[in-house]
Amino acid sequence: MGSIDQAVGLEAHSIEDELPMTFLFEHPVSDEIRSRVALELDAIEQRHQVKVLFACESGSRGWGFASPDSDYDVRFLYVHQRDWYLRVEAQRDVIEVPISDELDICGWEFRKALQLMHRANPTLFEWLDSPVVYREDSTLCAPLRELAQQFFSERKGRWHYLSMAQKTFRDHLQGEALRLKKYLYALRPLLAAQWIDAGHGMPPMRFADLAERMVTDSELRDEINALLAIKMAASEAEYGARFPRIHAFIERELAEEKPPADFKRPQGEIGALDALLQRAIQHSCPA
């Protein structure tokens, strides 16, 4: 496949911008797709009378190991007109667009997103760390990312990621011929849980950043890179034989009983979320 830089078409980098990244990654989103996403977001704003504050890639294109036929998983946050927030009955707080031509688009209303942040929802934290951003209101997204650091829960994050890894391994990685992407779908949350256990805080969304710090065995690193090269060149449905080192690593790490660390409690205050919601409504929906 050539050098890592040739394979991914991006400058290699490390988490700390000191050493070259040794894991393959890429975020293949063309200008044409970006234009299509922008038009879809504009249409959503018109159709639902909302303002999109943030939109990103949430799936494998954001994680850095998309297949050529991977969908574009667009996720966004939006705010309604002011009167929407003054109704007695709760209103629908999700916008979903039927999947069309590889575009999978779904959004959360901003108050819902802030409620999920208060509950330390790892999915929202990942969206805010996505390397592929389609739209961003920096006035609101910058303080939102600051609040994410305060509301991130190591305990909830660890449970979330370990559960994902265990379920994927149990349900999809027990045969001899395996859907290869499922290895990455187990590895990524497993490494995220280990990242948290190691005291590094909120895990990064990009898989290569996780693996760069958490995978130290050179032979395992080579095998993961071989898997990434296949995943990034093959279809989403590609099957293959077991990767023995990856399989043994996942099996061993999930089998070990490790007591959770004495995690610190999140430091966020709900009043800060209330203030940001009010700011978002006043900023995006002036009277």
Q: How confident is the model at residue 286 (pLDDT cuts 50, 70, 90)?
A: low
Domain ranges of the chain: 31-152+265-284, 154-255
| In contact, 107 and 52? CB cutoff 8 Å | yes
Please classify residue 148 by burial: count the beta carbons closer than 10 Å to its beta carbon, then call 0-12 exposed, 13-18 middle and 19+ buried: buried
Q: What percentage of the chain exceeds 70 in pLDDT? A: 90
Output the CA–CA distances (angstroms, integers) from residue 237 to 68, 70, 230, 242, in the order listed: 11, 10, 12, 15
pLDDT at residue 261 tops 90 = no
* Mean pLDDT calculated for residue range 194-210: 96
Structure tokens at 10: 């991006």
pTM, two decimal places: 0.89
How crowded is the C-beta side of 253, counted as CA atoms within 13 Å?
Answer: 24
Instruction: List, for residues 69-117, the tens digit of each pLDDT value.
Output: 999 999 999 999 999 998 999 899 999 998 888 999 999 999 999 999 9
Q: How confident is the model at residue 2 (pLDDT cuts 50, 70, 90)?
A: very low
Cα first-last separation, the chain: 57
pLDDT at 265: 87
- What does the DSSP assignment read for the chain? ---HHHHH-S----TTSSS---S-------HHHHHHHHHHHHHHHHHHTEEEEEEEE-SHHHHT---TT--EEEEEEEEE-GGGGG-SS----EEEEEEETTEEEEEEEHHHHHHHHHTT-HHHHHHHT-S-EEEE-HHHHHHHHHHHHHH--HHHHHHHHHHHHHHHHHHHSSSSEEETHHHHHHHHHHHHHHHHHTT--SPPSSHHHHHHHH---HHHHHHHHHHHHHHTTS-TT-EEE--HHHHHHHHHHHHS--PPP-PPPP---HHHHHHHHHHHHHHHS--
Instruction: List, for residues 211-228, the tens digit of each pLDDT value.
Output: 999 999 999 999 999 999
- Tell whether domain 31-152+265-284 is in CATH 3.30.460: yes
pLDDT at 3: 30
Lowest mean pLDDT among 14-28, 232-246, 263-277: 14-28
Lowest mean pLDDT among 58-67, 77-86, 172-181, 259-268: 259-268
pLDDT at 7: 35
Mean pLDDT of the chain: 90
pLDDT at 56: 98
pLDDT at residue 287 tops 60 = no
Instruction: List, for residues 10-30, the tens digit of each pLDDT value.
Output: 333 334 444 457 899 999 999
pLDDT at 20: 59
* Mean pLDDT calculated for residue range 178-199: 96
Instruction: List, for residues 171-187, the tens digit of each pLDDT value.
Output: 999 988 899 999 999 99
Q: What are phi and psi of 271, to 5 degrees?
A: -60, -30
